[in-house]
Chain A
Amino acid sequence: MKTSYREAIRQAMREALAADARVFLMGEDVGRYGGTYACSKGLLDEFGPERIRDTPLSELGFVGAGIGAALGGMRPIVEVMTVNFSLLALDPIVNTAAALRHMSGGQFPVPLVVRMATGAGRQLAAQHSHSLENWYAHVPGIRVLAPATVSDARGMLAPALADPDPVVIFEHAQLYNQEGELPEDWRCDICRAAVRREGGDISLITYGGSLPKTLEAAEWLAAEGIAAEVVDLRVLRPLDTATIAATVGRTHRAVIVDEGWRSGSLAAEVMARILENCFFDLDAPVARVCSEEVPIPYAKHLEEAALPQVPKIVAAARGVLGK
């Protein structure tokens, strides 16, 4: 069935709310407005204000409240409008949610799910457009997911809620309008990367909003006779090193596509793991396509120039292949 990424997220939440009375949704504009990206449209009418809760503009406050609710036995889904704003909630997420099980000797797990939008491409300028997934992927104690397909958007929430530890889900703002085929069985794990396209010449490793661009780049490369394998990381922490090593073992070449800034990026971490695991399999230096190291510009042409784009990915792949 064809459906949109936004609708897949909504269905997943609706199902979770109906299935478990402990689940509730909380965040800025999730109720009356139906969600900044309209993911919770209609849920207030269906489930009522006790379970679809609009919050004040205080990420520190409502993420903290979510942690408290999780500790109290609830299964909160906390929506943060963008990853930029989530920086106000880094303290409760990093210092409390991620650490509490460890600090309590295993006594206090925090079964919290935080959903947030990430990424650029909608002319929302520097304060609403950054990709800071790597900040969270750095922190032990939380699981970090990046659904990039309609199927993962539908399937990842349930295992995330079932996880006894905090899970952060990044939804790229460019993906909400994407339509795709929702398979009958959309259930999925939240531990493994996925090969989205097979090919023997080069591995293109990416996640989130860059997946559609990378798949398109693979199509271009195919027209030039280059068979690119596209790997969708899906889970940014813990990284699925085995799948990364397996694809590079097959192709001997890799390009990492990551909308984060290059310095200290997830792409850097993936490269490090390739070097640790596949050094003697490499047939060329590993390359990266990341965002330019500027605050994401507002102007459309500058924003486009700052982000990973299909021609940049194709050129990087050609470079690695010496073509």
Chain B
Amino acid sequence: MDEGEIRAGVIATLRMIAPEIEEAAIEADAPLRDQVDLDSMDWLNVILGLHERFGIDIPEADYGRLGTLKDVVAYLAARA
């Protein structure tokens, strides 16, 4: 799975929580939760969605490494 596919999977997961987002409007290097307005319940659902989609269990301790869209894609790419 290349980074493009992973990125597409992340966006699709985000859309399930926040259907209104536009992919082009997300800055890959800016804090993701602020851009998409994700509260802790939304964030947990994103983590759950990623778990289902990619089969990767993201521990709470790693949340700090998932600040931006770029971070998330890199994190998943390293484990997928």
A and B touch in the complex (CB under 8 A): no
Chain B interface (Cβ within 8 Å of chain A)? none
State the A residues within 8 Å of B (CB).
none
